[in-house]
Amino acid sequence: MLSHDTTAKLRSLVEQACGVNTGTTTEKHLKPLSFASVVIVSKESKSDRPEEVFAYAAGRPKLLSGNATDVDAKNSIYWMASFTKLVTAIACMQLVEQGKLALDDADQVERLCPELRDVKYLADDGTLEQKSGRITLRMLLTHTAGFGYTFTNEKLRDWVGNRNPPISPARQQFWNQPLVNQPGAKFEYGISLDWAGFLVERVTGTRLDEYMQRYIFEPLDIKDMSFFPDGDMKSRVLAMEQRLPDGHLKARGHAWKYALHVQDHNKPDTVRSGGAGLFGSPREYAKILAMLLNNGVSTTTGKQNPNYARQYVPAAEPELVYPSDGYYGLAPPQMPQGWGLSFMISPSVTGRSDNTAHWSGMSNMFWWCDREKGVAGIVASQVLPFADPEVGKLWAKVEAAVYEKTGKL
């Protein structure tokens, strides 16, 4: 369990980041966050079951509906963005264990998703060429299939920008984008996990949300998690903000608004984005991290999830190891980082172990899961653009505070 002093420090850190009670502690030109929430799960020893030991939110969040003034951010609904990727990977690995999917079978991938057989490679001059290799599930899970994102790849951005009219991500056609690299050639963060989700749907004949609900959320007793929040869940969706170049924050339209306005999400071509589509509560998502800490067993229902949770997943390819100025700035200088099956594996100056898994979401949400030291956590907000300095500082300080006293829990 966290000590009283650590709990008090964590509360103070969240409040400071939001400018509550303690005044502004941000960089001079940056305004404090409107709100933030933090959840920590841990276990005392290898024989103990992980449990929530800290959940706290500060600030003045607003609901997207605008209906409430006193909002509890720690129990509200966030756009989870790329937090979705871990859940999709768990679904894939369940099916790998059952023999229904294979990590390295390109024939199977092309049979289930013929689009991946026919997908073209986008050359630097903007022309489409035949791809030189074949795509496997392992490539999709490790972001080496060749897909990119428009917000990180300029040639893909330009290619998509020239489509007229623009296509909504609610439709399958949106995801039929060309490759920006040849299959297996290099790491490129992109829509690969969305295609992994399509594989899950096609091999099972089940919508991705229905599969996740039956085989992941229900066994873990997760209530608030959905691609299409409605009813009470939709009423608790938080509004998003944009940090302007001058450091101020202002309200903005929701970045994943299509999912909140789909009238009939059972239409055949309506997409469940396995890479970025989930909405949910950080406290509920933490149950997934607790399961990973607990050798794949739910701490509430006792049900078993994939066996891969019992072991460290190494970086998939040596060429995917890169120095600390890459995706994770808290890694010690020149300490290698690697990509596992849907998450980053990095040490940190905060005290986490070398094989700690972590990742983030575009809405400035961050999770880490340290199986060696028995602790996992989430730092959550709803602000763009990604890598907001104030959220990043809060994440670093929260991790450091958790490990500060004893180095482990």
Catalytic residue numbers read 82
Rg (CA), the chain: 21
**Would you say 238 and 288 are in contact if contact means Cβ atoms under 8 Å apart?**
no
Taking the C-alpha atoms of residue 112 and residue 197, their distance in angstroms, rounded to an integer, is: 12
Taking the C-alpha atoms of residue 165 and residue 241, their distance in angstroms, rounded to an integer, is: 27
Taking the C-alpha atoms of residue 269 and residue 279, their distance in angstroms, rounded to an integer, is: 20
Taking the C-alpha atoms of residue 272 and residue 253, their distance in angstroms, rounded to an integer, is: 21
**Would you say 337 and 329 are in contact if contact means Cβ atoms under 8 Å apart?**
no
Strands 279-280 and 78-79: antiparallel
Residues 281, 404, 38: CA angle, nearest 5 degrees = 10
**Would you say 51 and 290 are in contact if contact means Cβ atoms under 8 Å apart?**
yes
Strands 279-280 and 225-226: antiparallel
**Residues with Cβ < 8 Å from 218, sequence gap 6 or more?**
none
